[in-house]
Amino acid sequence: MNRKMFRGKKYFIEALWEGLLKISGSVTSIIIILIILFLFSEGMGLFKNNIVEDGYVVAVNSKNKIENLSPQQIKDIFDSKIVSWKELGVDVSEDEIIIFRLDDVTNYVSEEEIGENLENLPKILNQILEDNPNMIAFIPESYTKSNFSSKILDLGNIKISDFLSGKEWFPTASPAPQFGVVPIVLGTLWVSLGAILIALPFGLAVSIYSAELASNRLHKIIKPIIELLAGIPSVVYGFFGLIVIVPLIQKVFNLDVGETGLAGSIVLAIMALPTIITIAEDALRSTPRAMKEASLALGANKWQTIVKVTIPYSISGITAGVVLGIGRAIGETMAVLMVTGNAAVIPHTLLEPVRTIPATIAAELGEAPKGGAHYEALFVLGCILFIITLIINLVVEYISSKNKNKVA
């Protein structure tokens, strides 16, 4: 009887633990899915926003034949980079573009004409536009509600194609914010690629030495040091890079500033080394002893065995370590923010300041009005980073499964 009670109690405890683990796994999965849905739902709201600032319109003379303008054209017009209507393919009697903002109204009428409570302002704005056929105005939408005969340009909403192909990131530009992710994505890829090119040879060399050449006593010293590197906070790496690496790069390459993509790559390479070394070493140690002994028995020396047998057998595991190292580099924030110069321009070399996706989100999210286009654009950047990370994880899973099949 006691034995039956003991077995029943044992089965109950096992079932209880199994149920708790299932619940825990289910809850975790649901939370992750909800976070992903929240990320994408917030980001996709960007493409429901107008090209110009919320609450404002771009208007021209009613006889102006212009129908549409891109965000870049609007910015260039109001930055005086485009100064004539002919550049836009429009024939206007007076070709030079006149830019009008609400603050310019007193250049055309007196404050008494506007009225104490601005009651005459809508009529005055309309009259100013009609008197100047070559004018383009950026004015509040509330002043165009009634009896406004000038043409309000229907510029539409922000397009996904413009977002993905845009070459300028200037979310605070007026009247049309610029949300071009090309320089930010390229900056992320440049820094990550540079980091992995630096980290790969060093990481592979250390892993080979630790797994195949180092004595047990030396291995016990190297292993904790590598694990210690993985535990150092990223801000410490960033501070080290800012104080040591940045001035060194500036001096060696004779640059105006040392905050460059190369500085970010070096710092990220140091941060990625523990991941690459640990995974590559485990893969090298998984090589069957019989294969190594067979190679040595056939007359190969130790280095020939490493190059011709050990590395080819463990190449899948080594590749997985490299890919995970890239994932660490792509997702890093603080260290990159501190040493790369944080300039949202398209990089042509690693010796230029760059900006990465995580650094952009960290630097701008606190200043972006909640629910605004800038806020939602940062969530879209988060979606892009998520997709890149997901691709990396899928590659790791594929490589790992390939490695398991090979071992089996």
- Which residue segments constitute the domains of the chain, with CATH numbers given? 56-156 (3.40.190.10), 182-407 (1.10.3720.10)
pLDDT at 375 > cutoff 60 = yes
What is the rounded CA–CA span in Å between residue 362 and residue 34?
22
Q: What is the mean pLDDT of the chain?
A: 86
What is the rounded CA–CA span in Å between residue 119 and residue 129?
18
pLDDT at 100 > cutoff 90 = yes
**Global confidence as pTM:** 0.84
- Cβ proximity of 377 and 46 under 8 Å: yes
What's 114-166 look like in SS3? HCCCCCCHHHHHHHHHHHCCCEEEEEEHHHHCCCCCCEECCCCECCHHHHHHC
Reported as a single tens digit per residue, the pLDDT across 206-252 is 998 888 888 888 888 888 888 888 888 888 999 999 999 999 999 99
The pLDDT of residue 360 is 92
User: Tokens 């190369």 — which residue?
Assistant: 262
- Cβ proximity of 77 and 90 under 8 Å: no
| Higher-pLDDT residue of 327, 135 | 135
Reported as a single tens digit per residue, the pLDDT across 278-320 is 888 888 888 888 888 888 888 888 888 888 888 888 888 888 8
What is the rounded CA–CA span in Å between residue 379 and residue 44?
8
User: What mean pLDDT do residues 37-64 have?
Assistant: 90
